[in-house]
Copies of this chain bind each other. A is one copy, B any other.
C-alpha cells in the first residue's frame, strides 16, 4: 500500500472543513472573510462550509467585529455548547482529570491519590468513578460528552486501546478502550503520557503548531514526544520516544528495565532521590515510589538550598547531555522539558541549556528555544487536544444537523 491512496471530492470538503476549524481553534474569533483570507479560499466557499458547521453546531456566531470601515464581520467561534471533552492522566501516585467544553475552556479539574503499588483494577476503579463524576457534571450543564482520552506513562497500544506495558507498575495488557466505550458510550482514546504531553504543548503551548518540537517528560519515568515537520513521531508500534531506557552512563546504576546505566537512572526521580540521600539532604524518604517527597525538595529549592541546587545542577548537566543527542538527531526548533521534575529543574535551566548547546553542533541550534518547566498539565491538555482533533477530523457534516 502506498503512502496515500485515492482522493475524491468528499475529501476536499472534509479537509477544508478541518482547516476552517483549525483556524478557529488557533486564532479564536474570526469572521468568514478572515478565514477565507487566511486559507486562500473564496468567501463563498467559507460561507458554505461555515453553514454546514453551524448546522452541526460545532461553530457559533458571537458578536460583530466593528471599528473598521465597511460592513462588520460576524465573528465565529467554536461552539462551547457542542459538547464536553474529558482527559484523564494516570500517574504513579495520583489520577488527574480535566473536563472542558468544545471551546476548550476548563469546566472541572480534580486529582485523587492512588496507591502507587495498587493493582490495575483498583486504580481503574478510581479513574472510572472520577470520569462518572465529570460526565454527570457536564450533563448537568447540558453538554454531551464527545470523548475521553486516558494518558499513562507506559507503552500504549492505541489501536487496541490498551496499556501494553508499564515499566514502573509492571502492568501488562490492561484493556481500557473497549471496556470504557461500552460503559460510557463515547469514544475513548489511550495515549502515552509523553506523547500526550507533546501534543498538549504543540496544541496549547507558547508556539501552537510548532513543527519541530522535542517534549521531554521527566518524572518517575523518562520519555519523549517528538513532533517532526508537524507530525507526532509514533513509530511502527507506536512506542517511539522511549529515550529513558537508552544507555547513558558507562558504570551506571542497574535500571528497572534490567539494563545498566539507562538515561533515566541518571536523571529520573529515583536518581534525584538517590543523589539527595547521598548528599545528606533531609527529606521524607518513607515513600520513595510516590511523588510526595518532591514537594519537600521543591520547598528547599525555593528557599535557595545550595546542596539541593548542587544535586539538581548535576542532574541538569545529564539532562542537557542527553538532550544534545536528541537535538543532533531531530534538529528541532524547540525543546520543552516537562513532567513533575521539571518544576525543580527549571531552577537550573542555565545548566541544562549550557550542557545541551555544549554537546551540539552549532549549526543545529541556530537558534534553539529551550523551555524547562511547564504548567504540569501537559498530558491532560494533550488528552483534550486528542479528543478535539478526532472530533474535528470527523465533522460528520450533515449527519448531525439539528443535533
User: Interface residues, chain A, CB within 8 Å of chain B?
Assistant: 1-9, 11-12, 15-16, 19, 22-23, 26, 39-41, 155, 164-165, 209, 211-212, 224, 228-231, 233-243, 245-247, 250, 257, 259, 321, 324-326, 328-333, 359, 361, 363-364, 366
A365 → chain B closest CB, angstroms: 9
Return the chain B residue nearest A364 by Cβ.
Answer: B239
Tell whether, in the assembled complex, residue B2 and residue A329 are in contact, meaning their CB atoms are under 8 Å apart: no
Return the chain B residue nearest A224 by Cβ.
Answer: B329
Note all chain B residues with C-beta closer than 8 A to A6. 16, 19, 39-41
Known A5-B39, A212-B236; contact A361-B329, beta-carbon cutoff 8 A: no
Besides A9-B12, A211-B236, A229-B234, 8 other CB < 8 A contacts?
A2-B26, A6-B16, A6-B39, A165-B363, A233-B330, A237-B366, A242-B328, A246-B329
**This chain's copy number in the assembly:** 2
Note all chain B residues with C-beta closer than 8 A to A230. 3
Tell whether, in the assembled complex, residue A23 and residue B2 are in contact, meaning their CB atoms are under 8 Å apart: yes
Return the chain B residue nearest A367 by Cβ.
Answer: B236
Note all chain B residues with C-beta closer than 8 A to A3. 22, 209, 211, 230-231
Tell whether, in the assembled complex, residue A2 and residue B15 are in contact, meaning their CB atoms are under 8 Å apart: no
Note all chain B residues with C-beta closer than 8 A to A234. 228-229, 331
Note all chain B residues with C-beta closer than 8 A to A4. 15, 19
Partner of A332, one of B235, B238, B246, B321: B235
Note all chain B residues with C-beta closer than 8 A to A1. 209
Known A235-B332, A243-B329; contact A259-B39, beta-carbon cutoff 8 A: no
- Would you mind naming 17 contact pairs between A and B with Cβ atoms under 8 Å apart? A1-B209, A2-B209, A4-B19, A5-B19, A7-B12, A7-B16, A12-B12, A229-B235, A231-B231, A235-B331, A237-B364, A240-B331, A246-B324, A247-B321, A247-B325, A257-B361, A329-B329
A156 → chain B closest CB, angstroms: 11
CA gap between A1 and B208 in the complex, in Å: 10
Note all chain B residues with C-beta closer than 8 A to A15. 4, 7
CA gap between A325 and B41 in the complex, in Å: 45
Note all chain B residues with C-beta closer than 8 A to A363. 155, 164-165, 237, 239
Return the chain B residue nearest A9 by Cβ.
Answer: B12
Return the chain B residue nearest A157 by Cβ.
Answer: B363
CA gap between A11 and B13 in the complex, in Å: 12
Note all chain B residues with C-beta closer than 8 A to A8. 12
Note all chain B residues with C-beta closer than 8 A to A41. 6
Tell whether, in the assembled complex, residue A236 and residue B331 are in contact, meaning their CB atoms are under 8 Å apart: yes
CA gap between A145 and B212 in the complex, in Å: 35
Q: Could you say which of A234, A235, A238, A243 has the most chain B C-beta atoms within 10 Å of its C-beta?
A: A235
Return the chain B residue nearest A4 by Cβ.
Answer: B19
Q: Could you say which of A23, A231, A234, A325 has the most chain B C-beta atoms within 10 Å of its C-beta?
A: A325
Note all chain B residues with C-beta closer than 8 A to A239. 331, 361, 363-364
